[in-house]
């Protein structure tokens, strides 16, 4: 044993006197270290389309806390003003993943043969967890012009766009009032524009999502009804995979969804009664403030978020109701059913690994 120790010492001593030999020994040792070190897989870039809403939080957490990195993924977030604009990029193969609403445009793209898969929930409205609120100008209530939902008749009402989940909500509101879409003057604009339009009296009522709904209420608008009251368990948006992304590397797609769902579960752990609370809540608010367009932490803490299912489950009945609304409005251009759009194979694989959600202590 002693001879075995002395021999390398003699070799090093000899190498010190011969610099070229020393360099060779050092290079050999470096090679051995590299071989013994753990191999880290190269990260694959995944393009992700977002509209940068509060319910994109699962993606933000997965990035910030390294869940995507652990899955060998380098996320590239691409911001869209409307999820409908993602469809053509899915078809061209230049967008891998999207956070999109249940829209007529999505179903029409699928009817045209574009391979887009609805793979998991992104947000919905179980009771107590609203996504959008019908707001009316305060002066219209004070003057008596608006007393009940039936008074929406003839009013100028702002919604996000035709053929979206918001359209399904608006139809439910009008049905409750005994009205039809033709009974209101419906205009379309972004949620941020709705806040200004209500303040400037450019519209009488609006249906914004959070956090813009809270901002409009703080500016003086009055909440009449929220979508969780009028349309409980409504599937608002989902995680979408392009067919190319799903088929090219199913293992990568599964790892992506697992990382996303880990982020969603962290988000759920940070909530108490739908609001951020405690140190976990503070940590997620910090992430939202960094990644989202709303940079005031107080705004993120001020409202109850719509729900993001920690097991990724979709509410299929509401998706079918919305598709029927789109059909009746003559917005669907081909033959398509909800079942054609759904692919739960990736979610089922992830849930086998993670198991059902259990709130962390």
Q: Are residues 250 and 170 in the same domain?
A: no
Beta bridge partners of 272: 275
Q: Are residues 70 and 154 in the same domain?
A: no
**Cα–Cα distance for residue pair 62/40, rounded to 1 Å:** 19
**Cα–Cα distance for residue pair 299/287, rounded to 1 Å:** 13
Q: Are residues 212 and 284 in the same domain?
A: no
Place of tokens 């951020």: 276
Q: Residues in the chain, how many?
A: 361
Q: With contact defined as beta carbons under 8 Å apart, do 67 and 259 qualify?
A: yes
The pLDDT-based confidence of 42 (bands split at 50, 70, 90) is confident
**What is the residue range of 273's domain?**
44-124+235-354
pLDDT of residue 100: 87
pLDDT in tens, 230-242: 999 999 999 999 9
pTM of the shown model: 0.83
Q: Are residues 162 and 72 in the same domain?
A: no
Asked if pLDDT for residue 2 goes beyond 80, the answer is no
Q: Are residues 219 and 317 in the same domain?
A: no
Query: What phi and psi values does residue 210 have, to the nearest 5 degrees?
Result: -80, 145
CATH code assigned at 162: 3.40.190.10
- Rounded to an integer, the average pLDDT of 71-84 is 90
Q: Are residues 218 and 329 in the same domain?
A: no
In a domain, 21, yes or no: no
Q: Are residues 300 and 175 in the same domain?
A: no
Specify the number of domains making up the chain.
2
Asked if pLDDT for residue 3 goes beyond 80, the answer is no
- Rounded to an integer, the average pLDDT of 269-298 is 94
Asked if pLDDT for residue 29 goes beyond 60, the answer is no
Task: For the chain, give the percent of residues with pLDDT over 70.
Answer: 89
The pLDDT-based confidence of 260 (bands split at 50, 70, 90) is very high
- Read off the DSSP letter of residue 340: H
Q: Are residues 260 and 338 in the same domain?
A: yes
**Final residue in a domain of this structure, among 230, 252, 287:** 230
Q: Are residues 111 and 176 in the same domain?
A: no
Q: Are residues 118 and 265 in the same domain?
A: yes
DSSP string covering 95-146: --EEEEE--HHHHHHHHTT--EEEEEEEEEE-TT--SBEEEE-HHHHHTTS-
pLDDT in tens, 161-212: 789 899 999 999 999 999 999 999 999 998 889 999 999 999 999 999 888 8
In a domain, 67, yes or no: yes
Q: Are residues 97 and 216 in the same domain?
A: no
The pLDDT-based confidence of 160 (bands split at 50, 70, 90) is confident
């Amino acid at each position: 044993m002693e001879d075995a120790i002395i021999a390398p010492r003699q070799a090093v001593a000899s190498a010190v006197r011969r610099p070229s030999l020393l360099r060779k020994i050092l290079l050999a040792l470096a090679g051995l270290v590299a071989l013994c070190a753990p191999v880290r897989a190269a990260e694959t870039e995944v393009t992700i389309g977002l509209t940068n809403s509060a319910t994109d939080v699962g993606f933000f957490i997965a990035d910030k806390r390294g869940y995507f990195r652990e899955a060998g993924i380098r996320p590239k977030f691409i911001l869209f003003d409307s999820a409908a604009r993602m469809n053509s990029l899915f078809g061209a193969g230049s967008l891998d993943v999207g956070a999109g609403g249940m829209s007529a445009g999505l179903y029409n793209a699928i009817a045209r043969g574009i391979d887009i898969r609805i793979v998991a929930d992104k947000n919905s409205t179980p009771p107590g967890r609203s996504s959008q609120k019908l707001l009316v100008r305060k002066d219209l209530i004070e003057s008596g012009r608006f007393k009940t939902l039936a008074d929406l008749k003839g009013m100028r009402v702002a919604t996000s766009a035709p053929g979206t989940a918001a359209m399904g909500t608006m139809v439910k509101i009008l049905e409750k009032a005994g009205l039809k879409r033709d009974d209101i003057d419906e205009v379309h604009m972004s949620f941020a524009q709705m806040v200004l339009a209500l303040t400037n009296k450019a519209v009488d009522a609006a249906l914004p999502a959070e956090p813009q709904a809270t901002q409009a209420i703080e500016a003086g608008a009055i909440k009449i009804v929220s979508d969780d009251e009028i349309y409980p368990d409504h599937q608002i948006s989902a995680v979408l995979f392009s067919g190319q992304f799903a088929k090219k590397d199913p293992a990568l797609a599964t790892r992506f969804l697992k990382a996303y769902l880990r982020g969603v579960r962290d988000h759920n752990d940070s909530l108490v009664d739908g609001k951020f609370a405690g140190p976990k809540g503070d940590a997620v608010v910090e992430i939202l403030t960094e990644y989202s367009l709303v940079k005031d932490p107080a705004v993120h803490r001020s409202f109850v978020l719509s729900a993001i299912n920690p097991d990724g489950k979709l509410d299929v009945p509401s998706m079918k109701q919305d598709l029927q609304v789109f059909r009746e409005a003559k917005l669907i251009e081909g033959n398509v059913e909800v079942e054609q759009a759904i692919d739960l194979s990736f979610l089922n694989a992830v849930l086998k690994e993670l198991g059902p959600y259990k709130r962390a202590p």
